[in-house]
Structure 1
Amino acid sequence: MQAWAIAVVSVLGLLTLFVLRTTGGKITRPILNDIPDIAIGGTLWLALSLLTQRPASSALLWAVLAAGLLLADHTKRQILREPVVFADASELFLVFTHPRFYLPYVHPAIFYGIGGALVLATAWLFSVESPAMPGNPILSRVAGALLLLLPIAAYFWRPSLNLMAKVLRKLGPSGDPVLDAEKLGMLGSFAAHTVCSRQERPERQAACSFGIVTVPPDKPPVVLVQAESFFDIGRLDPALPSPLTEYAACRDRAWRYGHLNVDSWGANTTRSEFAVISGASPADLGLDRFNPYHSFARGPIDTLAARLRRAGYLTVCVHPYDRRFYSRHKVMPNLGFDQFIGGEAFGARHGQLVSDEILGAWVNDFIARQTQPVFVFAITVANHGPWPTQATTPGPFASQLGGYLDSLMSTDRMIGQLASSRWLNDDGGIFALYGDHQPSLPALTRGGFDIDSSTDYFILNNTCPAGNQRDIDVHMLGHSVADCLKDRFLRSSNVRAARPFSGVGN
């Protein structure tokens, strides 16, 4: 290498290490903690340098990518209260296919301005830097390819995967992304979590069992709704009446209701989604808890839907958005659903958010056309942020909540549609609804409100008397729906047992 290239590589290497330290949340730490980042980063730089024969350009590329990681991590910590984790790699492509869910949270001047300048600078350096790696170029490129391919092959071969996991566990990863980023560095924690999660995944998948679901003889319709960014805003000021009148009416006559403790804030819908339908806790999932759809749910899982299907129900999941988002089109059949219906059923264009009221009307119409027992899991999307700063809905919370209030009122109207339906009131159905996570609104954290990360839920069964509040973890909600079915079964059994025998004489 030329002297200038050595100098550039050295400076960029130190800069990249500083950026990784900043991203990991521990700028000042012992150099020993940097060994995983140095080893992984050095290997990646060497592999790319051998492949391209351009060491300085390769160093700049990895420095730019490290800066992008820092930006993503900082944004995620600010909006979602957690760092970037290894499973977020599956969302990298989604940033470009569904930008409205990601880019509005990053200032355009940073993403397009600074980011674009760095990309152009990297491309320019690649175009002007002369090949400078020693040795035969062909052999160098083969060596560079092997540096990348061998670890990948070892990751997919079970004996070498077990060995890799054993070695990485000696570094002492805790499974906490914050602590591991500080201790092992970002690249080190990504490597440890990626390898260890794959190594332990088959055992965790095999142990994932929802349990027995007892269904009453009449097999009532069951509708479970995951409401995007929903919580009872009446909690913001208990002295004021909640504007969510339909929700309040359902809660007051619900078989069970309460706060729902969720494992996320502002996003990561799939965590709540999978927890409810599978009954699996974060401890059951291990490192796959960050995004169970990334790998964990890519095989058949025992779920509430699977159990109801065995009991004779038609199981349907409906999400009025791109059916490929988070690979739901691959995951939902593994979760026990006979049908998965996406935005195509609503004529939605790419990126269009279908209103909750349209979804509610679709559910009512769908159930009315069925001739067999049906379980519908409806996943709303219209209340996804970001929201306009101004609300058109009047009320005491309008100034703090802005456009979120308008979307939430649409959710409330959907609740009214479903609560007044024939399948619920005439056919004795069961209607459950819950919020997947709190909205990522600064007003909730910096507006003086005393609010935690829990959302709200209810389970409505008009054949049973209203119950009491019971606050639960999100993975227990599916089991609570199963408990409601069992309670219905026991009540019907008691009625039959108490009914006097009426014989027919000769």
Structure 2
Amino acid sequence: MRQRGNRPEPPSGLRCGRNFLLMMLGQFTVFYALSVFIALPSLLMPMPVKKGDIEAKPLVFLYCLNTLFLYAAVVAGDGAPALGCVVAVALSYGLAFASRVKYRILGEPVLFTDIISLAELVRNPKFFIFSLPPAAWVASALVLLALPCVFWWFFTWDYALRLVAALAVVAVVAVYTRLPLARWVAVPNWRRDVWRLGVAGMLVLYWRRWKAQAAPQPPMAVAGTAARDVVVVVQCESFALPGMFAQEQARGVALPELERAQARARSAGGLLVSGFGAYTMRTEYGVLFGREEQELAFRQYDPFLTAADDKQFSLPWRLRQAGYQSVFMHPHSLAFYGRDRLMPTIGFDVVDDSMGEHTPTRATPYPEDTALAARMIDRIRTASGPLFLYAVTMENHAPWPGAPDEALGHYLRHLRNSDTMLGMLVDELDRLGRKSLLVFFGDHRPSIPGVNSVTQERTTPYVCVEFPATEGKASRVPQQDMTPAALHHLIEGLAVHRTM
């Protein structure tokens, strides 16, 4: 007779199923714990850490959550916990290493917009390849080639383990959807959040805030007429003052055309750009749309991704209402950053790649600024009505070939050519004698490995010149620093006669 209080033994089949499930859970948990333990040091890699920066509780919580997602996603697809552990660890260190390199060169860790824009890196590798050491590119290539073989080698048909892993993936997604985003990340601040959320946690939470951010209310329409016959704006690639370099060969370099333009400028000084060595689109967006980065919130890191929502803020859209024809010129593939779609959407009547006849060489891989200036002058001379011409140069784009000293020599040579371009435009607008406005500025400072490094000082020169030469002498305000958005408002204010 069975004693009171003793449970009946489960059927043998049920017992085997329970034991099997416990074994699967144990195997899954052991390899997950191993992933967390091995990858833990990657939390301290993204950038130099100072004592007191780290907020351990949210950092470790999100780290465990993200590691679980990476690990479980591989197990759900391949059925191999050991492979899931290897991949989770490799991705954790890979993301931390990429952030470390990016911070060293550009002064920022990896951001969610970098992940979104990976397609641009694939289509234009020469823009970014100089940022990573050759060993990193070789290792990346070997990993990509080996991945299919590795997944095939470890593949199993263990659907029970896959089910456990799939449930873990669903659980991680559910936790992320339940986090109070507005409290966890009220405003973007990667310097704080990289040590509070981790790089991976920051990627996910910033991306979710970005997705949820609504388009702004459109501004009031322009009520006015064209105040100029010609408005020319030149966004000059990596244009900065040679004095930013400590090297001897930079000390004797002069920019006489910039100095000549500054001497007669309506306004000149430093443009307060946020990027260093990259992020042209942030400066370009600020000048074209006139919205400060604080207004953009989570859209500030790559405002081109959502710029179509803001078209009524843009200079071509607003100047069109005052009677201008708008032309955009850029001697490079207009598909880069989607300019071929974006620029017509925001109001440019003509979008011109301005490539002309150019054979890339090691010393001059991109079309020269002087050639672009000549094409711009043709546009200016043939304009039949008020013209707004916005040009983005390309000659001085990285990479600059050779050892550090040689690379700096290439940069300085291109810089002089950009200065010559400015002089060509000033001379042409002087000759024409039309009521004109010329704005010329650098989009960001260059980052040349082995020559200069990231600093908090990031200003580039800008100059705003009115034509004819005697116009506006009494109202000049020289050496006035401003943001790209403030420069937008200066341009619009000088280009439009307000009627209200």
TM-score computed with the length of structure 2 as normaliser: 0.81
Match of 1:128 in 2: 153
Residue 452 in structure 1 maps to residue 468 in structure 2: no
1:289-438 mapped onto 2 (5 Å cutoff): 289-297=300-308, 300-342=311-353, 353-388=366-401, 401-422=408-429, 425-438=432-445
8 Å contact kept, 1:234–1:241: no
Match of 2:234 among 225, 236, 246: 225
8 Å contact kept, 1:64–1:119: no
Match of 2:467 among 443, 447, 462: 462
Cα displacement (A) at 1:125:
3.4
Residue 50 in structure 1 maps to residue 76 in structure 2: yes
Per-residue CA deviation, residues 160-206 of structure 1 (Å, 9 max, x unaligned), is xxx9487223335541112111001122211211111221232xx22
Q: Larger C-alpha radius of gyration, 1 or 2?
A: 2
Q: Percent identity?
A: 24
Cα displacement (A) at 1:39:
1.5
1 CA distance for matches of 2:451 and 2:206? 32
Match of 1:12 among 12, 35, 53: 35
The answer to which of 451-460 and 421-430 deviates more is 421-430
Match of 2:203 among 167, 190, 210: 190
Partner of 2:114, secondary structure, is: helix
Residue 275 in structure 1 maps to residue 286 in structure 2: yes
1 CA distance for matches of 2:178 and 2:352? 39
Match of 2:19 in 1: none
Partner of 1:457, secondary structure, is: strand
Cα displacement (A) at 1:91:
2.5
Cα displacement (A) at 1:343:
5.6
Cα displacement (A) at 1:45:
2.5
8 Å contact kept, 1:76–1:82: yes
2 CA distance for matches of 1:235 and 1:337? 35
Residue 440 in structure 1 maps to residue 460 in structure 2: no
Cα displacement (A) at 1:11:
2.9
Match of 2:7 in 1: none
Partner of 1:312, secondary structure, is: coil
1 CA distance for matches of 2:89 and 2:251? 52
Match of 1:159 in 2: none
8 Å contact kept, 1:227–1:436: yes
The answer to which of 18-27 and 299-308 deviates more is 18-27
Match of 1:22 among 41, 45, 60: 45
8 Å contact kept, 1:226–1:433: yes
8 Å contact kept, 2:68–2:169: no
Partner AA of 2:150 in structure 1? L
Residue 474 in structure 1 maps to residue 495 in structure 2: no
The number of residue pairs the alignment matches comes to 463
8 Å contact kept, 1:19–1:70: yes
1 CA distance for matches of 2:359 and 2:186? 44
Residue 167 in structure 1 maps to residue 180 in structure 2: yes
Partner of 2:140, secondary structure, is: helix
Q: Structure 2: which 5+ runs fail to align? A: 1-23
Partner AA of 2:488 in structure 1? G
Match of 1:503 in 2: none
Cα displacement (A) at 1:236:
6.5
Per-residue CA deviation, residues 85-106 of structure 1 (Å, 9 max, x unaligned), is 1111123222221111111121
Partner of 1:258, secondary structure, is: strand
Per-residue CA deviation, residues 432-469 of structure 1 (Å, 9 max, x unaligned), is 1001111113677569xx99211111111123144222
2 CA distance for matches of 1:165 and 1:175? 20
1 CA distance for matches of 2:253 and 2:102? 31
- With over 3 angstroms needed to count, the CA separation of the structure-2 counterparts of 1:30 and 1:212, relative to structure 1, is same
Root-mean-square deviation over aligned CA pairs: 3.7
- With over 3 angstroms needed to count, the CA separation of the structure-2 counterparts of 1:424 and 1:24, relative to structure 1, is same
Cα displacement (A) at 1:429:
1.8
8 Å contact kept, 1:321–1:352: no
Per-residue CA deviation, residues 112-154 of structure 1 (Å, 9 max, x unaligned), is 1x334444565443222241645296x6798689679x77xx9
Cα displacement (A) at 1:294:
2.0
- With over 3 angstroms needed to count, the CA separation of the structure-2 counterparts of 1:288 and 1:451, relative to structure 1, is closer
Residue 261 in structure 1 maps to residue 272 in structure 2: yes
The answer to which of 98-107 and 368-377 deviates more is 368-377
2 CA distance for matches of 1:445 and 1:70? 23
8 Å contact kept, 2:234–2:440: yes
Match of 1:395 in 2: none
Per-residue CA deviation, residues 34-87 of structure 1 (Å, 9 max, x unaligned), is 112222331242233213223322332233222321222111111111111111
1 CA distance for matches of 2:403 and 2:149? 44
Match of 1:96 among 111, 122, 147: 122
TM-score computed with the length of structure 1 as normaliser: 0.80
- With over 3 angstroms needed to count, the CA separation of the structure-2 counterparts of 1:335 and 1:306, relative to structure 1, is same
2 CA distance for matches of 1:136 and 1:181? 33
8 Å contact kept, 1:400–1:443: no
1:103-142 mapped onto 2 (5 Å cutoff): 103-112=129-138, 114-119=139-144, 122-131=147-156, 133-135=158-160
1 CA distance for matches of 2:398 and 2:461? 19
8 Å contact kept, 1:227–1:411: yes
1 CA distance for matches of 2:244 and 2:170? 57
